[in-house]
Structure 1
Amino acid sequence: MGFLSQISFDEIVASILACLILRELMIVGLPDRIAGPGGWLIDTGEDEA
């Protein structure tokens, strides 16, 4: 339990923000078959008809 008391709220927020930014960069930078509609790494929703 001592390990958890060393983690601050700011560090948690910074980690969440970094994960969200990384996810958005991957969606923009990777091809749709990997990160897009129906992608195997990040599925952003249904394929458009």
Structure 2
Amino acid sequence: MLTLFSGITFYEICMALLMVGMTERVLLAYAPIEMVGPDGWLLKADVQE
């Protein structure tokens, strides 16, 4: 089991977290309100129109 995670570096983890955060910001800014609004099916967020 340890060999499965031994190839993952700290840098890769940081980059993955950064990309998830950036993707969330882009989705909240540009996706339709039905997708990311208070009752959204992808993200439930308090988004101002």
TM-score by length of 2: 0.78
- Tell me how far 1:3 sits from its aligned partner: 2.5
Residue identity in the other structure for 1:3: L
Who is 2:10 aligned against? 9
Task: Describe how 1:1-49 pairs up with structure 2 within 5 A.
Answer: 1-45=2-46
- Tell me how far 1:5 sits from its aligned partner: 1.1
Aligned CA RMSD, in angstroms, stands at 1.6
Structure 1 CA distance for aligned equivalents of residues 37 and 20 of structure 2:
17
User: Comparing both structures, which one devotes a greater share of its residues to helix?
Assistant: 2
Structure 2 CA distance for aligned equivalents of residues 25 and 36 of structure 1:
14
Aligned length, in residue pairs: 46
Unmatched 5+ stretches in structure 2: none
Unmatched 5+ stretches in structure 1: none
